[in-house]
Amino acid sequence: MCKSLWFQVLGVAAGGAAFERHPMLPHHVQRLGRDCIAHWDIPRRFCWNSHLSNYIRWAGHYSWAPYPRTGVTVNWRPPNFLGSWRLPHFLGPWRPPHNWNWQPDNITQNSFFHLSHPNMESEGDEPPSKRRRRSGQHDICSPNEEISSCNLNEAACLSTLSKNKEENTANIRGMVKRHWEYFCHQSKKMKILEDKQVDQNNTEDKGKFDFTVMSYNILSQNLLEDNSHLYKHCRQPVLIWGYRFPNILREIQQLDADVLCLQEVQEDHYEMQIKPSLESLGYHCEYKMRTGKKPDGCAVCFRISKFNLISSNPVEFFRHDIPLLDRDNVGLVLLLQPRFHCKTTAAVCVANTHLLYNPRRGDIKLTQLAMLLAEIASVAHRKDGRFCPIIICGDFNSVPGSPLYSFLKEGNLNYEGLSIGKVSGQEQSPRGQRILTIPIWPPSLGISQNCVYEAQQQQEENTGGKIKEAKLENTEELVIAAEKFPSKLQHHFKLSSVYSHYSPESGIPEVTTCHSRSAVTVDYIFYSAAKDDSTAQPGVEDTFDGGLKLLGRLSLLTEQDLWTVNGLPNEHNSSDHLSLLAQFRLIEQ
């Protein structure tokens, strides 16, 4: 990848705030202060424990969020913000005027974000909905700095790469860019980013295989037009597909991921524009359209210089014989063989999905997820009973800390008495009290409570071998658990999330989607961590043949960041979602 592009795209949004350690802070934010390790000559003010005069109490957007919900006032004082203000529990139906006074500045082609800091001094305690109405003006962007902080959920050190000096001087007024966060256990990361060719030669010769994965809901034009009430805050021209597509393609091209997991890919646009364009950039594309009438679907595209396709496995969540499964969402599971990898049998399983939106139908969402996990278990399953490394990308229409999210990450969920409207955490006070049935889906689906195809489970139980025995014990445990706790779901994978859902600099929740009704995280990249990855869970070595080490990720933004650029989509970001991007190293066992 081109060095200059990386640095322009990943330039730092400096001006990070410092927080007092406070009992109200989430545990991981408190730990930030303790674990902060500077790698470069870092100004003290960017270390978490260097300012002790302010604290944050974050209401959070999510009813199930891991964020504390004890108050709504934020007393956060980053250098440019002098007051305090209130954060909303949700974004109200605020409607800015049609041609809202949002003036694009002088923007380079490579800039994604055009950030103006809201003037807190004059806003007092007003909610962002009011502030938004006034924030047509742009302040000067904070100076760029090299900063370091620690990501606590993964108990790993993160460093933030700033723009270099020349780019600092070329900094454009009122603009913020997403930056690259990398984990300190990879000090070679900078080199890797600076020269991908060197990276390939060095790492792959030694049996290491590094690659990047993007997850991006690109907002199908059809859904944009069907849900136009969500985009009233946008200037009309930025909503035209002819305007959006070149921006989306440019973003994909600049971020240069080796694997793309795209959601809301409209079929005609895919065939006529997206697929040909990506092929000309060196990708092979696989696509699964939704069932039913809506003409969008999921695409997984990979760089043919990096991977061979072993298999492509579409998953339809609609089942005409099961009344519960009357929705048209889909998934797509690819098995990829890394090229230039010394272990010729090595494979990586990449799954992509867009789960049902309906906040009240957690029963359907969980069943769709179980179907995806069963397909992944089938595709990633190796002869020795273990799994190849797995990456699951997608728009799960569920927020961090929700039962669905916890199930994915923890590998189990006791759903006894759980209201179906609370599964995804999208609504804080869902209407209706209907609770999940036990079991959630009927046996005719052919998927067990531990999210594998019944046939596969049976087959596994009937086979021998050392690892199989271990597995069998595990299976027996699961069967016992199923009898004892019939309301318990489990899955086989030990999954970690690339993102930890808070800004490492401020502790404020990040978002992956932002429009006039909502600003939350619903998109994720989950992966099976190698045992020496900072996020690896116990038992990972028994489950997987090797694994993935997270080297870095493209930073996300907060709701405040996004409203200073008029939310999403805007002039430069042409979806109502942000792209997620991670770099992994494939580790052999």
Q: Binding of ligand KL2 at residue 291 (CB under 6 A)?
A: no
Question: Which structure tokens are listed for 122?
Answer: 């004059």
Candidate list 490, 496, 506, 513; residue touching ligand KL2; CB under 6 A? 513
Least Cβ distance, residue 15 to ligand KL2 (angstroms): 29
Of 222-230, 278-286, 539-547, 549-557, the window that binds ligand KL2 (rule: CB under 6 A) is: 222-230
Q: Binding of ligand KL2 at residue 100 (CB under 6 A)?
A: no
Least Cβ distance, residue 221 to ligand KL2 (angstroms): 12
Question: At residue 463, what are phi and psi to the nearest 5 degrees?
Answer: -105, 160
Least Cβ distance, residue 349 to ligand KL2 (angstroms): 23
> By C-beta, is 207 or 295 nearer to ligand KL2?
295
What is the spatial distance between Cα 182 and Cα 222, in angstroms, rounded to a whole number? 37
Encode 511-558 in three state secondary structure.
ECEECCCCEECCEEEEEEECCCCCCCCCCHHHHECCEEEEEEEECCEE
568: closest CA among 489, 501, 496, 514? 514
> By C-beta, is 195 or 316 nearer to ligand KL2?
316
> By C-beta, is 217 or 583 nearer to ligand KL2?
217
Cα-Cα end-to-end distance for the chain: 28
Residue nearest to ligand KL2 (CB): 357
> By C-beta, is 401 or 439 nearer to ligand KL2?
401
Least Cβ distance, residue 223 to ligand KL2 (angstroms): 4
Helices and strands in the chain: count of H runs, count of E runs: 18, 24
Q: Binding of ligand KL2 at residue 399 (CB under 6 A)?
A: no
Q: Binding of ligand KL2 at residue 559 (CB under 6 A)?
A: no
> By C-beta, is 223 or 347 nearer to ligand KL2?
223
What is the spatial distance between Cα 415 and Cα 413, in angstroms, rounded to a whole number? 6
DSSP-derived secondary structure letter, 385: S
Candidate list 42, 59, 175, 223; residue touching ligand KL2; CB under 6 A? 223
Q: Are strands 580-587 and 495-497 parallel, antiparallel or unpaired?
A: unpaired
- What order do you get walking across the sheet with 55-56 strand by strand? 55-56, 73-75, 85-86
Hey, how many other C-beta atoms are within 10 angstroms of the C-beta on 165? Answer: 9
> By C-beta, is 230 or 478 nearer to ligand KL2?
230
What is the spatial distance between Cα 409 and Cα 389, in angstroms, rounded to a whole number? 15
* Contact predicate 17/506, CB 8 Å: yes
Hey, how many other C-beta atoms are within 10 angstroms of the C-beta on 480? Answer: 10
Candidate list 50, 168, 227, 456; residue touching ligand KL2; CB under 6 A? 227
User: Please, is 280 exposed, middle or buried when counting C-beta atoms within 10 Å of its C-beta (0-12, 13-18, 19+)?
Assistant: exposed
> By C-beta, is 359 or 504 nearer to ligand KL2?
359
**Per-residue x/- track, 342-371, ligand KL2 (CB under 6 A):** ---------------x--------------
Q: Binding of ligand KL2 at residue 397 (CB under 6 A)?
A: yes
Name the amino acid, one letter, at 60: G
> By C-beta, is 191 or 229 nearer to ligand KL2?
229
Least Cβ distance, residue 262 to ligand KL2 (angstroms): 13
Number of residues lying near ligand KL2 (CB under 6 A): 10
> By C-beta, is 215 or 534 nearer to ligand KL2?
215
Hey, how many other C-beta atoms are within 10 angstroms of the C-beta on 442? Answer: 16
* Contact predicate 465/384, CB 8 Å: yes
Q: Binding of ligand KL2 at residue 570 (CB under 6 A)?
A: no
Q: What is the distance of C-alpha 326 from the center of its chain? A: 27
> By C-beta, is 146 or 576 nearer to ligand KL2?
576
**Per-residue x/- track, 165-204, ligand KL2 (CB under 6 A):** ----------------------------------------
Q: Which of residues 228-257 bind ligand KL2 (CB under 6 A)?
A: 230
Least Cβ distance, residue 274 to ligand KL2 (angstroms): 18
> By C-beta, is 1 or 219 nearer to ligand KL2?
219
Of 223-231, 377-385, 489-497, 544-552, the window that binds ligand KL2 (rule: CB under 6 A) is: 223-231
* Contact predicate 178/160, CB 8 Å: no
> By C-beta, is 548 or 556 nearer to ligand KL2?
556
Collapsing DSSP to helix, strand or coil, 238 comes out as: helix
Least Cβ distance, residue 251 to ligand KL2 (angstroms): 17
Q: What is the distance of C-alpha 280 from the center of its chain? A: 27
Q: Binding of ligand KL2 at residue 574 (CB under 6 A)?
A: no
Least Cβ distance, residue 515 to ligand KL2 (angstroms): 8
What is the spatial distance between Cα 261 and Cα 249, in angstroms, rounded to a whole number? 14
Q: Which of residues 520-549 bind ligand KL2 (CB under 6 A)?
A: 522
What is the spatial distance between Cα 395 and Cα 405, in angstroms, rounded to a whole number? 11
Residues pairing with 73 in the sheet: 86
Beta strands in 20-179 (DSSP E): 55-56, 73-75, 85-86, 147-151, 156-160
Q: Binding of ligand KL2 at residue 8 (CB under 6 A)?
A: no
> By C-beta, is 497 or 535 nearer to ligand KL2?
497
Question: Which structure tokens are listed for 163?
Answer: 């723009």
Hey, how many other C-beta atoms are within 10 angstroms of the C-beta on 198? Answer: 12
Interface contacts to ligand KL2, rule CB under 6 A: 217, 223, 227, 230, 357, 395, 397, 513, 522, 576
